[in-house]
Amino acid sequence: MNKTERALVISESLDVLYPDPPIPLNHKSIFTLLIAVILSAQCTDIRVNKITPLLFKKANDPQRMIKLGTEEIKKIIKPCGLSPQKSKSIFELSKILVKQHQGKVPKSFVELEALPGVGHKTASVVMSQGFGYPAFPVDTHVHRLAQRWKLTNGKNVQQTEKDLKRIFPESEWNRLHIQIILYGREFCTARGCNGTSCKEKPCSILNSNRKRPIKTKKP
């Protein structure tokens, strides 16, 4: 199969498994989505979803987050890890949103990536899941599966994102990146699958005759 054929198998298989994939991080606004994504760095979505209700009950907008202060933010988000850096980023970006953006999350990659603690992946998640702008955020699951499915060489996440955007139609990006994450968690985990014993589509089709384990590069 060439990449176009593989991409079609992937899209069709994931649409069957996850016809209406939910956004993994619970949120009620663009701002709370942004904060949740920042907290998800090196932390599971499950844990983030347990912590954010506690945080957002006290501060669900930039103004309240500023009043809450760095130390209180740090205490609440400690279970998510990296709390000193994350709390500082959340506090500082809240101040910037109030001073420069009328308390609203900006709707552009350039402005989002200028905020403390916001890299390209975080901005991509907010743009796609929050604003509905076509984007293809690449996390560890997406990066791993793109290699296992021979869609990229795994050189880095930037190259993986470019390769996936080139292979799949823009109209599929926002849905597909969530579907891949869900599939990577449920069926094709980092240690639970190496391409030789796949039983669920699309892996079972793409790697049906594979004898040797697939080695993937980490982000």
* Sequence-separated contacts (24+) of 28-31 with Cβ below 8 Å: 28/56, 28/60, 29/60, 29/61, 30/104, 30/105, 30/126, 30/130, 30/131, 31/60, 31/61, 31/62, 31/97, 31/104, 31/105
Residue 80 has which token pair?
Answer: 């998510």
Catalytic hit among 139, 162, 201, 217: 139
Cβ 37 vs Cβ 93: under 8 Å = no
CB atoms within 10 A of CB 118: 21
- H/E element, 131: none
Residue 11, amino acid: S
Residue with tokens 């308390």: 103
First to last CA, the chain: 26
Catalytic hit among 45, 88, 104, 121: 121
Active site residue 20: no
Directed axis angle between helix 30-39 and helix 83-100, to 10°? 160
Return the active site residues.
121, 139
